[in-house]
A and B are shown apart, each in its own frame.
Chain A
């Protein structure tokens, strides 16, 4: 809203003004900001309702869905949430996300580096295979994954939740593309000093790949924190549920009687907060496609 009160006295590109467009008229500006505020409300208001509803009582949430003042104000929903299995699910999500992210960043850079730089037989074939694997949509893998987890005998264990997510073909692809932009001369120097391949990779090349590593970290974090399908087929043990799996059960009677909207809103809000924090801190990397020139190889 603060954007409205500010005055546009200095167009960013005076040259355009000279050409004839000039500053937008008052009416145009009104429409422009009107549209913008409409869309902003459309995108922000639902989250505000979510926050407010989590402090309402059940009848209040059902009866006054749009109201922004809980009447009466209660933390009952949050207490219900914390006395449920929710804390267990949260812990599981943290464990799984941490392991998956660390594993993915390490193994994907390792493989990406090999595909980008090391000369070994079968490299081209492997890369072709990688492209093929990337074309496999995750959703058709639900049944196959369940079959193999059962077959290997790790169904209902932490490794079942973590290991299959640890390698991501798209992650390898991103790292490979990035490593190819790093000049080879950098490695030459390390080689002349007699560093081993792994040492060159670890101490010389990897530190230069920081932007790609951050991007991959964020994608892995977000991907594993929000993953649902894999956790559905990897476990049916409530002690191993992650947030997505556990909270998804809320809608199918997991909360007992009634709709319990306040609890559902609290649950949804709390699982959004870690994503929101990471998003705000690393926004630049999320939106890198739009941020032309923000980072460079």
Chain B
């Protein structure tokens, strides 16, 4: 039995994984090392970054971004502010929309479930570039959205050219301040290079349009996760609640939502990780404008390196973003591990649950990977 020879599996094992190691090593691990070096160097973009003319400058690029007052830090802070409002809007709304769609589809009297599920999920599989073009048209000044708003007597904005912040607009509308002349107590003090007025702008109208697009697109993916969770809910539990006289809303809040807690946790954390990586929409639709209100760290990093030729700073932004996402991912894994343990404890429906969670995990991994583009 030659094949049982451990020596032989040794060789086959390494042979089988060698293409993967080679490609991942050359195009993933090595470039990360190289970029780390670039972020610590004064490489200008010409010639090889690993040559004698390139100098080690320590954390200078990081200082310019995080400590020294100046344009670089200001831009990064603007991108953080934008992302903060983006996350604040997208994560809860896409979770609620996904859950609503899943609950609608899970109704046992529904006819044509496959059709509706397909319709809701379809945008998730379409290229973000195609969706972005479509939304540029829908949200155009004379586009479909503004036409519909017109039915209700609302004069829609020129979405992608409008840099006014939503909180600014709201404050102006209720008479707190005037958009044209912001109060000095808000414009004077500056934190990390931005005034209170800038920090508390809210998402701009342009960013809100992108947020709506992303919510619309990603809700379908998360809807599938919720559907899987809902189908795991034993009918008997709901029936028991029904016998106890709980109405529909009570059953939803006291039976369905607690049962879906792990899924909600998963969707929210995946949302956090995905929203920090948004890039495609900015590249296609706004290039960070108007007035930098759609600038995100990912796009800023790209812009610094490829448009402005500041490679060190671009790479440094990428690593700062990496650190943020790493913290989010680690937190998620930690939270989910907790969930897995408690799930094992009540492993009465063991086999079914395990199979489903494996399938769910495949979706999860995929979602995680494409979250950037959704």
Interface residues of A (CB under 8 A from B): 2-3, 6, 8, 11-13, 15-16, 19-21, 23-24, 29, 32, 35-36, 39-40, 42-44, 46-47, 49-50, 53, 61-63, 65-66, 107-108, 110-111, 113-115, 118-123, 126, 133-148, 151-152, 163-164, 166-170, 172-174, 177, 181, 191-192, 194-198, 200-201, 215, 219, 222-223, 225-229, 232-233, 243-244, 247-248, 250-252, 259, 261, 264-265, 267-269, 271-272, 275-276, 279-280, 283, 286-290, 292, 296-297
Contact = CB atoms under 8 A, between A and B. Distances in A.
Given A66-B148, A259-B140, A228 B224 contact: no
Contacts of A248: 129, 132, 283-284
B275 to A, nearest CB: 12
B235 A13 contact: yes
Contact of B318 (A123, A144, A170): A144
B280 A261 contact: no
Main secondary structure of the interface of B (DSSP, over half): helix
Interface of B: 1-4, 6, 8-10, 12-14, 16-17, 19-21, 23-24, 26-32, 34-35, 38, 48-50, 101, 104, 107-112, 114-123, 125-138, 140, 142-144, 147-148, 216, 220, 224-225, 227-228, 231-232, 235, 239, 242-243, 273, 277, 279-280, 283-285, 287, 298, 301-302, 305-306, 311, 314-315, 318-319, 321-322, 325-326, 329, 352, 355-356, 358-363, 365-366, 368-370, 372-373
21 contacts: A39-B104, A43-B120, A50-B134, A66-B147, A110-B20, A119-B10, A137-B322, A151-B34, A163-B23, A163-B27, A164-B28, A169-B24, A194-B2, A226-B127, A247-B129, A248-B132, A248-B284, A251-B136, A279-B125, A286-B125, A289-B224
Given A13-B235, A173-B365, A141 B279 contact: no
A114 B373 contact: no
B142 A133 contact: no
B30 A46 contact: no
A268 B239 CA distance: 47
Contact of B144 (A35, A43, A65, A141): A65
Interface centre among B20, B123, B232, B373, by most chain A C-beta atoms within 10 angstroms, is B20
Contacts of B239: 15-16, 19
B133 A147 contact: no
Contact of A23 (B109, B123, B140, B277): B109
B315 A43 contact: no
A107 B372 CA distance: 25
B362 A143 contact: no
Given A36-B104, A167-B23, A289-B224, A110 B319 contact: no
Contacts of B20: 107-108, 110-111, 167, 172
A39 B101 contact: yes
